Every structure is written in structure tokens, then in C-alpha cells.
């Protein structure tokens, strides 16, 4: 049996997966991939995402827009104005804040977010008035505590949001947490160090051979998921992101295998 990963390996692995999802928004021919981190309260889910948020006026990861919550008006504004400027992902570290809002607010958010995560938002009519979004696409990166995930599972599944997300789990033992706090107390703040993807403004053209795509499809079909098509697209996009990080213009089986080493996180 392989050794269990250390807490730092889990932390760095999930940080890497967040970055991969953010990269997919710039890859030519794929949809921005979305992610939900599920774990106990106060386990560090938000802190993982906030490693990508700029502070003190720094310009970093401009394709990721961070917010605690968003009304349909705010999300409309993002899709109409910020997506054309290069925003590819909406990052909401606390999805519970959105779920707990009035039902019509949540429904309006989901109504815009679902097409944004897939085929893109085109025209929306509010009575006789039309809003044009020109096929804007945007991924979602978010998190939920374990109990909130279980409590809202049916809601997330029935509305179609869950199938559009890669759900990953983050479980830390008390010993892991204490070790991380001790390191921080003694001056090791590297777990919270900011991560800048430094993505180019142009789209990334990453090729993939049919045989590699077939390999990924077989893996997606082997998972306990009803959405094989979406799973295949998801892992293909993430594999291309791995290739870009490796400095390659073509994704290979090795890039997919590098991604698959983190399959302990997948929650199906």
C-alpha cells in the first residue's frame, strides 16, 4: 500500500488543482472548468482559493474574479463586461453564503451560472427587454463545508450545478492541523504564499492525440458518474492545463497520468 500523503502534499495538491481549473479558461476549444472543495469547517478551504487572490494592489491572476456573493444583476455585469476583458472564473470561497440567500436570489444566480459553465450565455429576455451576452462563458471555483454539502446535495444535483463541477474533498486530521499551525507559529508561512499563474492574454492552443483522448474517455467511463461526457471533457481540459504547465503544446498520456495521481481527491 502506498504511503498516505502528508498534510502539505494534500494542501499543495489542491492548490495545484485550483490552478489547473483556472488555466482551462484560457485553453482554446475547451470550456472553463469548475471546482468545488468539500471539507470540514475551518479546514482551510477558503485559504486555498485565496492564495490566488491579489493583495495590496498587486496585479495577479486577472482571469479570476473573487467575491463573497453575487446577485443576478452583479453576475450579469460580470458576464457582459468582465468576461470580454479576460475573466474566466468566478471564485466564491463560501458557496453557503449564496445558497442561504432568498430562494429567488439563488435561483437567479443558478439560472445564469449554469449556461455560463457550459454552452455560454446568449440572450436573456426580461419581459420585452433583451440582454445580450454573446455566448459568455465562465467557470465557478467554490467550496462548501461537509455538512452543508450533504444538506444541500439534492438541491445542487437537481438544479444541474453539481454535474458541472469537479467535486474534491479535503480532509485534514487534528494532528495535520496542529502541525501546520506550529509551522506557521514558527515563521513558516509558505502554505499561504500567493500563487500567480502568469497566463498569457491570448488563448492557449494545446493539441491532444485521438489515442490520448480515448485513454481519458475510458477513465471517465470507469468512474462512478452519470455524466461520462462531462467527465471526459473535464479531464481532457485539465490534462491540457497540465501540458501547458509542463511547457508543452501537446497533451500526452504522461500529462494525464500526472493529473490522475491526484484522483484521491475526486468525489463521485
Tens-digit pLDDT profile for the chain (268 aa)?
556 778 888 899 999 999 999 999 999 999 999 999 999 988 889 999 999 998 877 889 999 999 987 878 889 999 999 999 999 999 999 898 888 877 888 888 899 999 999 999 988 877 777 888 899 999 999 999 999 999 999 999 999 999 999 999 998 888 888 888 898 899 999 988 999 999 998 899 999 999 999 999 999 999 977 889 999 999 999 999 999 999 999 999 999 999 999 999 997 6
- Clarify whether residues 44 and 171 are in a common domain: yes
Inter-axis angle of helices 228-245 and 210-222, nearest 10: 130
What whole-number distance in Å separates Cα of residue 179 and Cα of residue 123?
51
Residue 240: inside a domain: yes
Given a contact cutoff of 8 angstroms between Cβ atoms, the answer to whether 13 and 238 are in contact is no
Q: DSSP labels for 197-226? A: ----SSPB--EE-HHHHHHHHHHHHHSS-S
**Do the domain assignments include residue 195?**
no
Same domain assignment for residues 211 and 93 = no
Residue 98 is predicted with a pLDDT of: 84
Residue 196 lies in a domain: no
* Residue 200 maps to a domain: no
pLDDT at 3: 67
Same domain flag for 98 and 32: yes
Residue 148 shares a structural domain with residue 216? no
Question: pTM here?
Answer: 0.93
Strand spans (E) along the chain: 34-39, 64-66, 89-92, 121-126, 129-136, 139-145, 165-169, 207-208, 250-251
**Does 135 lie in the same domain as 7?**
yes
Cβ contact 37:170 at 8 Å = yes
Q: What is the DSSP secondary-structure string of 228-267? A: HHHHHHHHHHHHHHHHHHTT-SEE-HHHHHHHHTTGGGB-
- Whether 25 contacts 82, CB under 8 Å: no
Q: Which of 141, 166, 182 is the last residue of a domain?
A: 182
Domain identity same for 74 and 167: yes
Q: Do 137 and 262 fall within a single domain?
A: no
On whether both 33 and 107 belong to a single domain, the answer is yes
CATH code, 57:
3.40.50.300
Asked, for residue 114, whether it belongs to a domain, the answer is yes
Same domain, 146 and 250: no
- Contact at 8 Å (CB) between 21 and 89? yes
Q: Is there a domain that residue 132 lies in?
A: yes
Distance, C-alpha 163 to centroid of its chain: 13
Residue 25 maps to a domain: yes
Are both 233 and 155 inside the same structural domain?
Answer: no
Q: Same structural domain for residues 221 and 139?
A: no
Please check whether residue 101 lies inside any domain of the structure. yes
**Can you give the pLDDT at residue 1?**
54
Pairing type for strands 121-126 and 129-136 reads antiparallel
Q: Rounded to whole angstroms, how far apart are CA atoms 225 and 212?
A: 21
Q: Which of 111, 34, 33, 36 is nearest to 71 (CA)?
A: 111
pLDDT of residue 243: 98
The total number of structural domains that make up the chain:
2
Strands 139-145 and 34-39: parallel
Domain carrying residue 228: 206-268
Q: 127 and 84 share a domain?
A: yes
Domain-terminating residue out of 115, 150, 182: 182
Amino acid at each position: 500500500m502506498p504511503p498516505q500523503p502528508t498534510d502539505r502534499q494534500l494542501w499543495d495538491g489542491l492548490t495545484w488543482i485550483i490552478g489547473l481549473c483556472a488555466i482551462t479558461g484560457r485553453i482554446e476549444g475547451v470550456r472553463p472548468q469548475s471546482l468545488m472543495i468539500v471539507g470540514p469547517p475551518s479546514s482551510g478551504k477558503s485559504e486555498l482559493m485565496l492564495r490566488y487572490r491579489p493583495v495590496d494592489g498587486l496585479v495577479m491572476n486577472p482571469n479570476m474574479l473573487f467575491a463573497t456573493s453575487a446577485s443576478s444583476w452583479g453576475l450579469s455585469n460580470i458576464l457582459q463586461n468582465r468576461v470580454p476583458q479576460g475573466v474566466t472564473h468566478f471564485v466564491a470561497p463560501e458557496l453557503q453564503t449564496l445558497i442561504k440567500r432568498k430562494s429567488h436570489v439563488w435561483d437567479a444566480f443558478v439560472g445564469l451560472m449554469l449556461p455560463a459553465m457550459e454552452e455560454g450565455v446568449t440572450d436573456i429576455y426580461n419581459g420585452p427587454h433583451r440582454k445580450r451576452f454573446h455566448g459568455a462563458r465562465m467557470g465557478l471555483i467554490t467550496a462548501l463545508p461537509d455538512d452543508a454539502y450533504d444538506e444541500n446535495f439534492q438541491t445542487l444535483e437537481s438544479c444541474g450545478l453539481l454535474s458541472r463541477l469537479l467535486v474534491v474533498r479535503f480532509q485534514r486530521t487534528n494532528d495535520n492541523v496542529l502541525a501546520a499551525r506550529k509551522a506557521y507559529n514558527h515563521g513558516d508561512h509558505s502554505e499561504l504564499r500567493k500563487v500567480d499563474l502568469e497566463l498569457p492574454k491570448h488563448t492557449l492552443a494545446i493539441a491532444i492525440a485521438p489515442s490520448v483522448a480515448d485513454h481519458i474517455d475510458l477513465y471517465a467511463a470507469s468512474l462512478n458518474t452519470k455524466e461520462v461526457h462531462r467527465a471526459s471533457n473535464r479531464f481532457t481540459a485539465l490534462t491540457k492545463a497540465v501540458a501547458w504547465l509542463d511547457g508543452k503544446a501537446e497533451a500526452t498520456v504522461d500529462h494525464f497520468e500526472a493529473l490522475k495521481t491526484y484522483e484521491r481527491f475526486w468525489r463521485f
